[in-house]
Amino acid sequence: MSICVIATMRDYNMRTVLRWAQEICPLRELKTGYQQPAPRLAMLVHVIDGHLVRNTDLKDVSEAQKKRRIKDAVNMAYTFLCPDDYIKLAHEEFASIVLRYWSGCLSGAKIIALKTRSGPNTPEYRSDAVVRLFKTCKRDRFFAQGVRSAPFFKRVRMQRICYDGIPVMAKRRLFE
């Protein structure tokens, strides 16, 4: 799977985590189609975000740090997602799904943000970024579920949402 579609994001952590998810368990091997309510995924991402990122650039962490962060995030995820649904999954499958949820949610949240740590988001940026985001969503259903939870994630964090520049149909298909 190519993950370069999110490469223009100003924060590479989402791309890095999506790559980690693919390394743990390729998308073609994920046989489950479990759906999670968007508000629940938003809370999951909110809780595991700090444990996964820890205010660092994830592409620079050591292999040992990467494993520890993934382990911590996945252990927390077991408490948020319905365990009966996921009990049949191998640990690697579950870990890959959780990381895909996180990457999708944060990728979507960055696009609908008024500004990020890198500066303000313009309507032009949103318009371009949503096209690339849509391509990734079409290939990865778990990433897409994460994207759908982005508006809820922004609300959990009490951050403003801006859809300026995002076509109405793209907004409906990605964020609703």
pLDDT at 160 over 80: yes
The residue-averaged pLDDT of 10-21 equals 88
Per-domain residue ranges for the chain?
A: 13-21+36-175
Share of the chain above pLDDT 70, in %: 89
Can you tell me the distance from the alpha carbon of 132 to that of 153, in angstroms, rounded to the nearest whole number? 20
* 151 confidence band (pLDDT: 50, 70, 90): very high
20, 66 contact by CB (below 8 A): yes
Provide the pLDDT for residue 2.
39
Is the pTM higher than 0.85? The answer reads yes
> Regarding predicted confidence, which is higher, 150 or 116?
150
* 14 confidence band (pLDDT: 50, 70, 90): very high
Please report where in the chains the tokens 């390394």 appear, as a residue. 23
pLDDT at 21 over 70: yes
The residue-averaged pLDDT of 17-27 equals 94
147, 17 contact by CB (below 8 A): no
* 6 confidence band (pLDDT: 50, 70, 90): very low
Average pLDDT along the chain: 87
7, 107 contact by CB (below 8 A): no
- DSSP code for 10: S
Q: Rg for the chain (alpha carbons), in Å?
A: 15
The residue-averaged pLDDT of 150-156 equals 96
CB contact set of 170 (below 8 Å; sequence gap of 6+)? 130, 131, 134
Q: How far is CA 62 from CA 14, 65, 66, in A?
A: 17, 5, 6
pLDDT at 9 over 80: no
pLDDT at 47 over 90: yes
pLDDT at 62 over 50: yes
pLDDT digits (tens, 9 = 90+) for 81-139: 766 666 677 889 989 999 999 999 999 999 999 988 778 899 999 999 999 999 999 99
